[in-house]
Amino acid sequence: MELVGGIEKREIILAEYDPAWPEKFEVHRGIIAGALGATAFRVEHIGSTSVKGLAAKPIIDILVVVKDSAHEHAYLPQLEAAGYLLRVREPEWNQHRMLRTPEKDVHVHIYSAGCAEIERNVRFRDRLRTHAEDRQRYEQTKRALARMDWPDTNAYANAKSEVIESILSGARRSGML
């Protein structure tokens, strides 16, 4: 993984759900759609700010699907011109790219069409939206992890993997996914 600008240590602060988060997503969806046009096959609000009632870091996560995320020339110059900055380049993991606003309050995740991570993100979001017990379990885990000291936000995100996989696995076993 390449972190453009290097590792950043930031305090993990969870905020109570803010009804303005979906509105903020819609503003950025419009910016992204305007910048990319038909290059963006799909633009989705993902992450905790997309789940009503869930505490979250106040960062809007946006999933964008393009034909091939490895071909940065097809989308990166347009998104940079729209004000987003490349932060993460992960050719070894789903050709994932992540851009963010200079204010660091919006993260734009780029994936190639057909990547399994797209549906995994959407399924997890939808599961949390419809199952209060999973939403509460996830929030409790996030609150416990947020109290710990992390070298960067990626380490915090990785620490949530176990509960995310457990929720997705339980949903599959119950036939809910």
Structure confidence by residue, pLDDT tens digits, 35-86: 999 999 999 999 999 999 999 999 999 999 999 999 999 999 999 999 999 9
Amino acid at 78: Q
Q: Tens of pLDDT along 27-44?
A: 999 999 999 999 999 999
The helix/strand count (H/E) of the chain reads as 6, 6
Mean pLDDT computed over 92-101: 97
Please give the Cα distance from 63 to 123 (Å, whole number).
13
- Domains in the chain: ranges and CATH: 2-173 (3.30.460.10)
The pLDDT assigned to 135 comes to 97
101 secondary structure, DSSP code: -
Q: Which pLDDT band, with edges at 50, 70 and 90, does 132 fall under? A: very high
Give the other-Cβ count within 10 Å of 75's Cβ: 23
Q: What is the mean pLDDT of the chain?
A: 94
In terms of pLDDT, which residue wins out, 106 or 1? 106
Q: Which residue has the tokens 């932060």?
A: 87
